[in-house]
Amino acid sequence: MSQLKPHVYFNSSMDSADDWRDALATEFKEFKFSVGDDVEDPDSVDVAIVWTLPEMGFEQFTNLRAILSLGAGVNQLDPKRLPANVPLARLVDATLTRMMVDYAKTAVYRYHRKFHLFERRSRQSSWIYIPPTLTDTTSVGILGLGELGAEIALALRLEGFEVLGWSRTPKALDGIETFTGRDGLQTMVGRSDIVINILPLTEETRNIFSRDLFQYFRECAYFINMGRGMHVVEADLLEAIEAGRVEAATLDVSTVEPLPDDHPFWNHPDILITPHVAGTSIPMTAVPCIAENIRRALAGARLSQQVDRERGY
Ligand code: NDP
Ligand code: OXD
């Protein structure tokens, strides 16, 4: 238990402040915890833990030493409203990673074992035998081979799938064929029965799934989006499904969340929507990582998982 007495500020539209206060109490004997827009003395806040930015921004937090994202992604924190000189870190937590791996496996198996077709056939009282195949007959291409993408890739490889992966810089992962660059991406999606997106949202990756890329997809490929909604030009995905280039899609994220009631993705027979549930940060399991970064911030040390603000992830 740390003897430090940090002043921690918390803001999230998603996470429970009470749960996080309880979790922090397992790491710090004494600490001050301020929540939302009601902060008496913002100039004494040491560290901000946030999923979303407070309405007032951070201008009054004149002694802030770190901003810690409650998510693995940071794009929801508008960089223009973040103080440029305060380090920003994202959350990498083994429990969240496990959940993401589970989600990827579930979505991949649903297509590999044709459950998406049997679900529909069940509604139609239609008994049509489709012979099952082994995992090594299905190839999965993954965009993003970072903390999450690499674990997903290795887990699917262990299941016997042929796994391909794409990243900005070259990667060596056991049993996985890796690619970089635009040409590498086109080649990879052209060889993938199932394409998974687990990229961070940056200026370079925004709208990466557009007509330009879907044209290189294998005919009747499946698409699973676990990254961010804004990676996808939604009209182009609908067009790709219409054209048979994409057979079906599982979307955990969308440009606007929650997905608006009148959105064409709802009720589309070939689209499964999950409400941004692929992974979540559980306070009691994620708090050691957050506490470690609070200690680092107070010591003036580099944060773990510090975001490169230039690169955007
Ligand atoms: P990392 O930063 O660890 O990994 C990012 C990966 O993307 C790296 O392999 C990186 O390449 C690659 N990448 C980034 N930019 C490019 C580019 N321009 N071209 C090619 N590859 C690129 O992130 P995580 O794996 O921890 O998380 C990824 C994202 O997952 C998060 O940003 C978030 O958006 C999303 N997420 C979604 C959740 C959900 O519930 N749906 C939950 C948690 C996260 P390189 O290795 O060369 O740097
Ligand atoms: C995250 C998320 O980035 O939940 O962690 O999307």
Domain boundaries, the chain: 7-93+281-299, 94-273
Write down the residue that tokens 């490929």 correspond to: 221
Q: What is the pLDDT of residue 90?
A: 97
Give per-residue pLDDT as tens, 74-97: 999 998 999 999 999 999 999 999
Residue to probe by mutation, ligand 2, list 15, 277, 280, 285, most atoms within 8 Å of CB = 280
Q: Using alpha carbons, select from 134, 199, 211, 133 the residue that is nearest to residue 165.
A: 199
Query: Rounded to the nearest whole angstrom, what is the distance from the C-alpha of residue 125 to the centroid of ligand 2?
Result: 39
Q: What is the pLDDT of residue 38?
A: 78
DSSP reduced 3-state for 165: strand
Query: Rounded to the nearest whole angstrom, what is the distance from the C-alpha of residue 146 to the centroid of ligand 1?
Result: 5
Q: How far apart are CA 198 and CA 167, in angstroms?
A: 10
Give per-residue pLDDT as tens, 180-221: 999 999 999 999 999 999 999 999 999 999 999 999 999 999
**3 falls in which pLDDT band (50, 70, 90)?**
confident
Q: How far apart are CA 222 and CA 244, in angstroms?
A: 10
pTM of the shown model: 0.97
Nearest ligand 2 atom, CA 279: 4
Give per-residue pLDDT as tens, 10-29: 999 999 999 999 999 999 99
Return the C-alpha torsion angle 143, 281, 52, 11, nearest 10: -170
* Fold for the domain defined by 7-93+281-299: Rossmann fold (3.40.50)
Q: Say yes or no: CB of residue 207 within 6 Å of ligand 1.
A: no
Residue 2 has pLDDT above 80, yes or no: no
Catalytic residues: 228, 276
Q: What is the pLDDT of residue 271?
A: 98
Residue to probe by mutation, ligand 1, list 148, 208, 303, most atoms within 8 Å of CB = 148
Higher pLDDT, 152 or 80: 152
Which protein residue has the closest C-alpha to ligand 2 atom 1? 71
Amino acid of residue 232 = V
Which protein residue has the closest C-alpha to ligand 2 atom 2? 71
Q: Which residues line ligand 2 (CB under 6 A)?
A: 71-73, 279-280
For the beta sheet containing 139-143, the strands, ordered from the edge strand earlier in sequence to the opposite edge, are 177-179, 162-166, 139-143, 194-197, 221-225, 246-251, 271-273
Residue 259 has pLDDT above 90, yes or no: yes
Higher pLDDT, 38 or 173: 173
CATH code for the structural domain at 94-273: 3.40.50.720
As a whole number, the mean pLDDT across the chain is 97
Phi and psi of 48, rounded to 5°? -105, 130
Q: How many helices (H) and strands (E) does the chain have?
A: 8, 12
E runs forming strands in the chain: 7-11, 32-35, 47-50, 66-69, 88-89, 139-143, 162-166, 177-179, 194-197, 221-225, 246-251, 271-273
DSSP state of 222: E
Give per-residue pLDDT as tens, 221-239: 999 999 999 999 999 999 9
